[in-house]
């Protein structure tokens, strides 16, 4: 499949970040890296507890990176997030965080940012 090599519209990313700023900021600050959410993720369990499937890993390595860089990420970075966001999470909403972090919401927000730049899995791709 041909890769999209266009630049990135940082304004669109910034708009999504701004709309969700309060919740993203709170979540990033609240995460205690305790790994408790991992126990409730069936994909983490099914992949022999591979740390890359931990819910916290999934949002920190995607939205967390975009947020820290204030949306100034390049296309390669977004493309690298694609498998994390679509292959390692099915948005089943079963993950539990004692700090009240809404992990599926954070993954969804990261997906929206990727989609705003035409980065997403298509029907003819292996998702």
76 vs 99, beta carbon nearer ligand SF4: 99
Q: Is 43 in the site for ligand SF4 (CB under 6 A)?
A: yes
Q: Is 28 in the site for ligand SF4 (CB under 6 A)?
A: no
3-state helix vs strand vs coil in the chain, percent to 5: 55, 0, 45
- How far apart CA 75 and CA 125 sit, in angstroms, is 18
Kindly tell me which residue out of 13, 63, 85, 101 binds ligand SF4, with binding defined by CB under 6 A: 101
How far apart are CB 52 and ligand SF4 at their closest, in Å? 11
Kindly tell me which residue out of 26, 28, 36, 65 binds ligand SF4, with binding defined by CB under 6 A: 36
Q: Is 37 in the site for ligand SF4 (CB under 6 A)?
A: yes
- The residues, ordered by sequence, that sit 6+ positions from 29 with a Cβ below 8 Å of its Cβ are none
Nearest 10 degrees: Cα torsion 15, 21, 24, 30: 160
3-state secondary structure at position 25 = helix
Binding site for ligand SF4 (CB under 6 A): 31-37, 40-41, 43, 55-56, 58, 89-95, 97-99, 101, 103-104
């Amino acid at each position: 499949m041909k890769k999209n090599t266009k630049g990135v519209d940082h304004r669109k990313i910034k708009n999504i970040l701004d709309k969700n700023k309060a919740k993203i900021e709170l979540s990033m600050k609240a995460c205690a890296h305790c790994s408790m959410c991992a126990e409730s993720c069936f994909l983490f369990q099914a992949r022999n507890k591979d740390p890359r499937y931990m819910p916290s890993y999934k949002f920190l390595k995607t939205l967390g990176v975009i947020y820290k860089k204030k949306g100034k990420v390049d296309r390669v970075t977004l493309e690298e997030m694609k498998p994390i966001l679509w292959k390692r999470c099915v948005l089943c909403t079963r993950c539990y965080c004692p700090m009240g972090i809404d992990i599926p919401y954070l993954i969804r927000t990261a997906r929206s940012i990727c989609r705003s730049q035409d980065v997403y899995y298509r029907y003819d791709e292996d998702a």
